[in-house]
A and B are shown apart, each in its own frame.
Chain A
Amino acid sequence: MALVFLCLGVSVMAFVLTHIVPNDPAVANLGDRASSDPVAVRLYREHFGLDKPLPVQYVVYLGNLLHGDLGESEQSRRAVRTDLAEYIPATAELAITSMVLACLLGITLGVIAALRRNRLTDQVLRVVSLGGMSTPQFWLALVALYVFFYQLSWVPGSGRLDAAVLPPPHLTGLFTIDSLAAGQFDVFVNSVQHLILPACVLAAFNMGLFTRFTRSAVLEVLENDYVRTARAKGLPELTVVFRHVLRAASPPILTVVGLAFGNVMTGTVLVENIFSWPGIGQYSYRSATALDLPAIVGVMLFVAIVYILVNMVVDILYGVVDPRIRLA
């Protein structure tokens, strides 16, 4: 229910924002010659329904949306759904890899910082994590490309695969998984080589964020009596950290991980553009600059739905880690 409500809200917002515009999509997409021809402009408007009043446009859009039709992209002249289906797997592969990296690193470093509170390690980790959160992703991407590709040639340049390598047979659209499923080990290696640098760049911001939040969440738990009891019982420190501390500290960490999904999407717009990664980040940039309204609204709606779903999963996970919430 909340999902439906939020989708409606986001679609209205996206619709209003993108349709009450001084810039004319017809001019943006037709080019100079055609847009000076009133007939061409009128035909264009009629084709995309732009000649009708705004509320009518919205109702038509909603009606189509109900059976999964997001409209036609004014730029690619294909259904927005087809475009999204093509670009989503690339972004999913990149975003998931970077989130896994950010979680592993961020939570580990956060725990270490909390256990070493106010010592040198904590201070160094504070600089590292705040540094990750303060570095513009577009700049980090360029510096990483310059160092690891241009100077050291450790990684291949842009794109998801070398030009000479054919994509694996389509299964999930994630090249790493598809290539393994097809037994093409060389394709797998190549796709990982292409994936690693953009994923690391994308992970930097969230890694910093997770480190800070894990640190404060863990610090709060460490003050509890049961932690002292566990230590007094002579339990190994690792057991105390994993069984007692981390579990109790996980709800706020989970919240941040859920919310950080938005950061990843923001990052993909920049990182995909720099690494020529054919995902929805690049697609949304192209659509926004070309004022491709159906595509922009489609991307926003899709991303909002994923965001809501991710945060619903987070809510469910609260119950898994915290029995009190499960009972309530």
Chain B
Amino acid sequence: MSAAVINSNNRLSTAWRRIPGAWRQPLTVVGLVLAASWLVVALLAPWISPQDPLAQGPALYQAPSAAHLLGTDELGRDVFSRVLWGARISIPLAMLLVSLAFTIGGTLGGLAGYLGGWVDEVVMRGADFVFAVPTILLAMAVVAALGPGLFHAVLAVVLVSWPGIARVVRGLVRTTMESEYVAVGRLLGSPTHRALTVDVLPNVAGPVIVLAALEIGNAILLLSALSFLGLGARPPDAEWGSMVSTGAQHFEAWWIGVFPGVAIVSIVLAFNFLGDSLRDAFDPKAIIKARGA
């Protein structure tokens, strides 16, 4: 029996060792588990939440108890259910806007890095303008102009987040294009699209994945901040930022605002853990340098 245990232990530990170093970091595991659980919650919220997030009950301002795990809010709604449902708003929207931002930023940055010249000049100066204005100021101006609402808030966040991605992609593409093996490939007569797919893409993909993990965290933060200010989701939507804002008006019932905030912290932290460990796994200098360039 003992032999079997040792054997399986061995097998486990070899399997464990085969996982790349970054994934064995305890914080990476924590990040992965947290992010995955939130994804599951977002998918299953309608089935696992004990109550309808919008259903008002007779019990107002109930402190956390067995009946209401995280208490009830000023309209008697179950805070726990609302926090679970909040994942259905924040996570898909953050993913949507990060993919939008990456499509725009990646395309523009890639073109700027590949073509150089005036295209590069125009794209990078455009990015500079956006960089010079703090994200929330720009986002507030956009949302105020378009009118408050979740969709407009998403557009605003896309608008302020593409330049960071464009810069990184441009830097990576340029570094790769200047490398000797791309030059050699050209000398050997391989076509441009081959240089792009075989040489450039793999070099850009890794750091971009890292950046995406970090950007999802930032997107959730900014989106919830806009909702907190009343420019994104609006009551009665079960959105974390606007739930914290409601909690701010009911200080004595601290659970109304504290728990949605804990939800934001835990999911953003999860993506930051992932991004941070992955950054160590890929060349740690690549991203920092491209960002500073």
- Chain A residues proximal to chain B, CB less than 8 Å: 6, 9-10, 13-14, 17-18, 20-23, 123, 126-127, 130-131, 133-139, 142-143, 146, 150, 212-213, 216, 220, 252, 255, 262-263, 265-266, 269-270, 273-274, 284-285, 288-289, 291, 296, 299-300, 303-304, 307-308
Q: Is the CB of B272 within 8 A of A138?
A: no
What's the Cα separation between A270 and B229 when bound, in Å? Answer: 8
Q: Tell me which residues from 110 to 167 in chain B have a Cβ below 8 Å from any Cβ of chain A.
A: 125, 128-138, 140-147
**CB closest chain-A residue, reference B279:** A216
Interface residues of B toward A: which range?
Answer: 35 or more
A285-B257 in contact given A23-B145, A142-B247, A269-B137 (Cβ < 8 Å): no
Interface pair A130/B273, CB less than 8 Å apart: yes
Partner pick for B146 among A10, A22, A146, CB 8 A cutoff = A22
Residues of B within 8 A of A213 (CB): 288
**Chain B binding surface SS class:** helix
Expressed in whole angstroms, the Cα–Cα distance for A99 and B251 within the complex equals 29
Residues of chain B contacted by A304 (CB below 8 angstroms): 129, 132-133
Contacts of A143 in B (CB 8 A): 258, 261
- Establish whether residues A134 and B217, one from each chain, have CB atoms under 8 Å apart when the complex forms: yes
* Residues of A contacting B129 in the complex (Cβ-Cβ under 8 angstroms): 6, 9-10, 13, 304
Q: Do A265 and B134 touch (CB < 8 A)? A: yes
A300-B141 in contact (CB<8A):
yes
Shortest C-beta distance, A174 to chain B (Å), equals: 21
Which listed residue, A6, A126, A137, A266, touches B134 by the CB 8 Å rule? Answer: A266
A122 CB, min distance to chain B CBs, angstroms: 11
Taking A123-B26, A130-B272, A138-B244 as known contacts, 5 extra A-B pairs with beta carbons closer than 8 A to each other, sorted by chain A number, are: A18-B145, A146-B254, A216-B288, A266-B225, A300-B137
Give bound CA distance, A248 to B5, whole Å.
52
Interface locus among B10-18, B187-195, B262-270: B262-270
In the bound complex, residues from chain B placing their C-beta under 8 Å from that of A284 are 137, 140
- Our pick among B225, B264, B288 for the contact of A252 (Cβ within 8 Å) is B288
Q: Is B248 an interface residue (CB 8 A)?
A: yes
Q: How far is the CB of A315 from chain B (nearest CB, A)?
A: 12
In the complex, A134 Cα to B221 Cα: how many Å? 8
> Which residues from chain B contact A134 at a C-beta distance below 8 Å?
217, 221, 265, 268-269, 272
Chain A residues with CB below 8 A from B231, complex form: 288-289
Asked if B239 CB lies within 8 Å of chain A CBs, one says no
Q: CA separation between A23 and B265, bound complex, in Å?
A: 34
State whether A303 touches B133 (Cβ < 8 A). Answer: yes
